[in-house]
Structure 1
């Protein structure tokens, strides 16, 4: 990167509007760019550090002067530049950043996972009125904001990220005496005295052996495993007595010895995807345990009575673990903030061991940030409407019923399900809601109120019996909407955007004012989609085609704004859908990406002025792609009847599946000729695998 481009990247990365605001700092800024080795990553990281300083010559020169005093361990100027940005962090942020080196190179770092690890290591400082989890989340996003962690481009809400190789190398250099990632059998006993954190990468042997001499004092606080499966040496639990974090997921562990109760400092135990069938009662001795993760444990079907003794527990994650025996007294765990797959029971078992928990047991858990309720079909009517409403920290909620496949439900079952759903009124601060396999025929009345005014993410999955979509067009903060498995829906009309024929046009309103991503999937009976009332006139047209049906959509009311921030639209598995509303790609100014798969009845994709990227797959009836003037990238496959593709003046890349080679020979030459004429170069055509 040139000096000039690097200088521009520096001030723009500081959210400075115009260069004239920092023109007096140009010379110092260019020197900083040189110190960054002209590397974009180093420039962005440095810009984040400079953004917290005053825009003065003295401040920037003071920062530049720190290069001379940086540590000798650093190998080059680029690492030196990155180190200075690291050095600007608070002590606790430094700890959190260095901890990320425990993830193997190029690994995905997940928000929920890494923040629990930080909490277990006591990196997060308690602050009055704030939950530890909220503070940890602030740290996570601060590291992203400073460009020290890079968000995954496929993650809508930055819930996943990675650490750049250069930053990881820096962090490894700084923490090399305390952290180790690799084959633990290569460790020597004398190296263990300073070691605090270990990520054990699977070796050739299927059993993990810890080469530790008896006389060596072991102070390891974190022990993680990756790239299983592998068996763990039984003495692990006796050798690492100071453990705070123990992650054995994806290993061949089938039982946990009772000796685990001696690990009195343990704060996080992760046994996801293991073959354990039970937990020892001694687990109740872990008074400091904050996180117990038991996701996808296929052989685990019961929880021990001692579970209710875990007075420090903040997270219990049972996602997709089929528990059918639980201890009474979940309400005693008053520090719980995360409860994954709360199995609702009907109370048919004895007083101590039950088949599931009652909804009322949630009432005393006032710190909850996330709850996933499953098997809601077993719930009786709640005695109170405040099971969820009074939880002021709750921002994520999943409500799940058990899918019965092709079986039918009785009227009583449907009625009870709708009544229970009606009573589960969430608090106003809820930001993420997922509804899974609801088999009622109508949504609760609170869907159409201000109850969901803070909602950002909404997923409606497997809602098979509702004929109409939920009335959610008015939600002021909704950014992500996914509707999947709505099998009873045949028509989506004006009600989807809140428009009623006859409404006075003087009442200006916005449909889905902040929605950015919209996904429809697995809707096999959906035939029509329109935003406004349609008039269908049949005109007798004499000629080869005989009678033709002419479809005219009512003019869009002047004061209605449709999906003004929609960027990405996906439709998948909607074989009967005949057309898309004409406003999509015309009156939705931000819509850039369109992804269509399995729309067999769709005949044409044309006249969408604002689209820039289009992917179309397995649309067997598609005949035309025309007049998409801003599209720069087009991907097509599984469209055997696509005979006309034209009017793509901005196209830069064309991706075709092998099954399109023959039919595309009709229109690829025309696209190539147009591109040569407009741009003076060949069109890039690739094979789409």
Structure 2
């Protein structure tokens, strides 16, 4: 409601100054009107916060908000059209006087009031999924007691609210860094704030997100004394949730409520949502920062405020989800202009601005009737099978068109009418051709064709799209791109690189200045082309600001020089490195001294037999640690790997003195070893890594024992045929073992609290080796899983 108005007003204000001097405005004689609109909007921004608070409980004020919002949406559309057409004067006649009048209507609206009331509609989040379960125990979690009654639940466990002591500890932990000092005043005010949260952990966390930006007791007292209970909220949405939303900056409010348009438990990918927000105009450019970097900062700020929940397996927080109560809040705040349709939705509003449609919806509404829509997102819905010419002629104000996984087979020529379209995602559809009119999408910045397996060519008009910053061509039948890709000077993220005699040369990529991610998919080549491709990769010297690199299917016998020789100098900002299916490289790059590397994945490097000191780097000059920021290490599908060592001794002349002074992987949290059948031992130096908490070992058939890694608290072992012994893991609390037939010995597992063993033939002698007096919780099933992973979800243990 107020969020939309506030953000739109600020966006329009930032454009109006430039627009006043524009030739289009002079021609259409609306300069005076625009100046008046600008003045009124500045006044509106000054009183916005108080008016928004009044609107939550006042029918007349709320109605004014809604009417004002509709006009502001239209004004934003007109201004965007002005700005697009001013760059293309030949399209000026398309502007109608009706659109011009919208500017004057907005001015009148700034002082008007209207008596319009629309009843609120509350849709249940849950429905009965099934009547009975055969041969199974079904665990249902719900806040709706009626659900349990409908399912004839045999046992009901009511989760107690968090007590005040634990609540205060959670609040303070989330509000301050571990190394920050706090005085008693913060604890006293925090105790009172926790009482207002009524023992709800989610409420405490989101309020802590607000408090984390407040560093004085006066500011904390201001939060404590705020209005905690707001009329008109959905039943399960508590006042603290809305309070945390109210304290967001305007641009973050828009980003937050936009996420409510996504399906429940949807994996929100940072790279994608940043482009969505930019396409909608939520992100304000600041100084010399790339707008996509600013959008990513917004994403991380929502995580810091506990409004998005990062998935624990992604150390960079690149994927997150939204709690269903926060999603309900977002949907409530936008219920009069945005809708997410699921199987239970019965009707849609006549003037939607944003529409999301789940894969469960059988009857797709008439899209062409939504003439004012700005975002259309249809998720994996095969019932959506066609787009006609009429559709795109009517939704010409759309900015975001997301049709991933739908049943469409073709795109009509009329898509060229969408001159405001900034994001187009056609991934995983069966389209076989793109229309030539796609070259008319002069505002397009994001184009994803990922997984369009039937698409084998791109129209030459694609090269007109000079604003393209994201282009994804992976997993298509495309083997060349029209010449001229070097003209994409704004290209920020390229995924899928091809070369043929009729397309561009890979050398042209040197002119692009890719700054964020280079995704290199397996190049289509014959054996005699390997040398030529190696040469091309040598030419692809990335920018020093590169953060991610995915090297997939590289056919050369050695990694490019910029990766194998002092990469810490050439790629000082690299945080993620994935080396997948580099089957001919016999030695890994010396990544150990890369200062920012957080994630390293090595997969399917068939030529590698040993991993030794070469990965740590060639000698040490100034570094005090090897892999100083590495948090995740994944070694996967290494079928010929036999030996792995982290011994630093042979890097120095004075072996003892130097190796003891250096720290090895001081930030490593998780190690994954998967399908390395010939590896016979873990490196002895793992015991030096005090930060290593989780290890997952699966398909390492020659490994016979896991010993002396005192820092590990969580260990999962699966399908390791020769593993017999686990010992001297003094910090281990959770052990999950499956399909390890020889495992029968345990020693010095003094901290173990939970043991799961499935399909382990010697489970009984193994657990009998454990102390009987440490309150151990044991779960044993044999036989039973047939190779399926039946352990509790790992995220439960974060």
Same-fold call, TM cutoff 0.5: yes
Residue pair 2:341, 2:361 contacting (<8 A) in 1 also: no
Residue pair 2:368, 2:392 contacting (<8 A) in 1 also: no
Tell me the residue number matched to 2:402: 247
320-329 vs 20-29, which moves further:
20-29
Structure 1 or 2: more strand by fraction: 1
2:722 maps to which of 621, 629, 642: 621
Matches of 2:225 and 2:746 in 1, distance apart? 59
Residue pair 1:22, 1:55 contacting (<8 A) in 2 also: no
Tell me the residue number matched to 1:303: 458
Alpha carbons of structure 1 residues 364 and 531: separation in structure 2 relative to 1, 3 Å: closer
Report the 3-state secondary structure (helix = DSSP H, G, I; strand = E; otherwise coil) of the residue aligned with 2:765. coil
2:353 is equivalent to residue 196 of structure 1? yes
Matches of 1:261 and 1:524 in 2, distance apart? 50
Residue pair 1:478, 1:514 contacting (<8 A) in 2 also: yes
15-24 vs 565-574, which moves further:
15-24
Tell me the residue number matched to 2:683: 581
Residue pair 1:261, 1:285 contacting (<8 A) in 2 also: yes
Report the 3-state secondary structure (helix = DSSP H, G, I; strand = E; otherwise coil) of the residue aligned with 1:635. strand
2:516 is equivalent to residue 358 of structure 1? no
1:218 maps to which of 371, 391, 395: 371
How far is 1:101 from its partner?
0.8
How far is 1:71 from its partner?
4.2
2:479 is equivalent to residue 332 of structure 1? no
Tell me the residue number matched to 1:229: 382
1:428 maps to which of 533, 537, 544: 544
2:516 maps to which of 380, 385, 395: 395
How far is 1:72 from its partner?
2.0
1:110 maps to which of 263, 269, 280: 269
Matches of 1:333 and 1:668 in 2, distance apart? 62
Residue pair 2:492, 2:516 contacting (<8 A) in 1 also: no
Matches of 2:728 and 2:186 in 1, distance apart? 47
Matches of 1:564 and 1:236 in 2, distance apart? 56
Alpha carbons of structure 1 residues 263 and 568: separation in structure 2 relative to 1, 3 Å: same
How far is 1:150 from its partner?
1.0
Matches of 2:765 and 2:631 in 1, distance apart? 36
Tell me the residue number matched to 2:769: 670
Tell me the residue number matched to 2:426: 271
Alpha carbons of structure 1 residues 290 and 418: separation in structure 2 relative to 1, 3 Å: closer
Matches of 2:180 and 2:433 in 1, distance apart? 63
249-258 vs 278-287, which moves further:
278-287
How far is 1:622 from its partner?
1.8
2:756 is equivalent to residue 655 of structure 1? yes
How far is 1:475 from its partner?
1.4
Residue pair 1:36, 1:77 contacting (<8 A) in 2 also: no
Residue pair 1:268, 1:289 contacting (<8 A) in 2 also: yes
Residue pair 1:184, 1:200 contacting (<8 A) in 2 also: no
Tell me the residue number matched to 1:471: 590
Structure 1 or 2: more helix by fraction: 2
| Runs of 4+ in structure 1 over 6 Å off | 553-556
How far is 1:499 from its partner?
7.4
Report the 3-state secondary structure (helix = DSSP H, G, I; strand = E; otherwise coil) of the residue aligned with 2:756. strand
Residue pair 2:492, 2:517 contacting (<8 A) in 1 also: no
How far is 1:75 from its partner?
4.7
2:258 is equivalent to residue 125 of structure 1? no
Report the 3-state secondary structure (helix = DSSP H, G, I; strand = E; otherwise coil) of the residue aligned with 2:715. strand
Matches of 2:350 and 2:180 in 1, distance apart? 52
The RMSD of aligned alpha carbons is: 2.9
How far is 1:188 from its partner?
5.0
2:565 is equivalent to residue 448 of structure 1? yes
How far is 1:463 from its partner?
1.9
Alpha carbons of structure 1 residues 533 and 339: separation in structure 2 relative to 1, 3 Å: closer
Structure 1 segments unaligned to the other structure (5+ residues): 349-353, 369-393, 536-552
Residue pair 1:620, 1:639 contacting (<8 A) in 2 also: yes
Alpha carbons of structure 1 residues 491 and 403: separation in structure 2 relative to 1, 3 Å: farther
1:633 maps to which of 734, 747, 753: 734
Matches of 2:180 and 2:195 in 1, distance apart? 18
Tell me the residue number matched to 1:684: 778
Alpha carbons of structure 1 residues 684 and 329: separation in structure 2 relative to 1, 3 Å: same
Tell me the residue number matched to 1:382: none
How far is 1:262 from its partner?
1.9
Tell me the residue number matched to 2:211: 50
Alpha carbons of structure 1 residues 439 and 233: separation in structure 2 relative to 1, 3 Å: closer
Matches of 1:480 and 1:55 in 2, distance apart? 36
Report the 3-state secondary structure (helix = DSSP H, G, I; strand = E; otherwise coil) of the residue aligned with 2:397. coil
Matches of 2:471 and 2:497 in 1, distance apart? 9
How far is 1:556 from its partner?
9.1
How far is 1:517 from its partner?
1.4
Matches of 1:432 and 1:279 in 2, distance apart? 30
Alpha carbons of structure 1 residues 565 and 257: separation in structure 2 relative to 1, 3 Å: same
Residue pair 1:276, 1:297 contacting (<8 A) in 2 also: yes
Matches of 1:32 and 1:318 in 2, distance apart? 50
Tell me the residue number matched to 2:445: 290
Alpha carbons of structure 1 residues 4 and 76: separation in structure 2 relative to 1, 3 Å: farther
Equivalent residue runs for 1:53-68 within 5 Å: 53-57=214-218, 59-67=219-227
477-486 vs 506-515, which moves further:
506-515
Tell me the residue number matched to 2:697: 596
How far is 1:13 from its partner?
1.6
How far is 1:315 from its partner?
2.1
2:478 is equivalent to residue 323 of structure 1? yes
2:176 maps to which of 11, 15, 21: 15
Residue pair 1:403, 1:437 contacting (<8 A) in 2 also: no
Report the 3-state secondary structure (helix = DSSP H, G, I; strand = E; otherwise coil) of the residue aligned with 1:124. coil
Matches of 1:19 and 1:433 in 2, distance apart? 35
Matches of 1:118 and 1:317 in 2, distance apart? 18
Matches of 1:433 and 1:240 in 2, distance apart? 38
Residue pair 2:337, 2:353 contacting (<8 A) in 1 also: yes
How far is 1:137 from its partner?
0.9
Matches of 1:422 and 1:188 in 2, distance apart? 57
Tell me the residue number matched to 2:167: 6
Report the 3-state secondary structure (helix = DSSP H, G, I; strand = E; otherwise coil) of the residue aligned with 2:252. helix
Matches of 1:204 and 1:100 in 2, distance apart? 19
Residue pair 1:607, 1:627 contacting (<8 A) in 2 also: yes
Under a length normalisation based on structure 2, what TM-score does the superposition of the two structures give? Answer: 0.72
Report the 3-state secondary structure (helix = DSSP H, G, I; strand = E; otherwise coil) of the residue aligned with 2:285. coil
Tell me the residue number matched to 1:525: 640
Matches of 2:628 and 2:186 in 1, distance apart? 40
Alpha carbons of structure 1 residues 12 and 325: separation in structure 2 relative to 1, 3 Å: closer
Residue pair 1:6, 1:43 contacting (<8 A) in 2 also: yes
Alpha carbons of structure 1 residues 54 and 581: separation in structure 2 relative to 1, 3 Å: closer
How far is 1:210 from its partner?
1.5
Tell me the residue number matched to 1:385: none
Residues 206-248 of structure 1: per-residue CA shift (max 9 Å, x gap): x6242887xxx73111111124112245343243232222211
Report the 3-state secondary structure (helix = DSSP H, G, I; strand = E; otherwise coil) of the residue aligned with 1:342. coil
Tell me the residue number matched to 2:299: 140
Residues 489-540 of structure 1: per-residue CA shift (max 9 Å, x gap): 222233333477xx9xx998532222221121222222222234999xxxxx
Report the 3-state secondary structure (helix = DSSP H, G, I; strand = E; otherwise coil) of the residue aligned with 1:21. coil
Residues 655-678 of structure 1: per-residue CA shift (max 9 Å, x gap): 112x21x3212222332xx1x32x
Tell me the residue number matched to 1:488: 607
Matches of 2:648 and 2:281 in 1, distance apart? 59
Tell me the residue number matched to 1:380: none
How far is 1:25 from its partner?
4.2
Alpha carbons of structure 1 residues 25 and 439: separation in structure 2 relative to 1, 3 Å: closer
Residue pair 2:234, 2:329 contacting (<8 A) in 1 also: no
Alpha carbons of structure 1 residues 363 and 554: separation in structure 2 relative to 1, 3 Å: closer
Report the 3-state secondary structure (helix = DSSP H, G, I; strand = E; otherwise coil) of the residue aligned with 1:639. coil
Tell me the residue number matched to 1:567: 669
644-653 vs 332-341, which moves further:
332-341
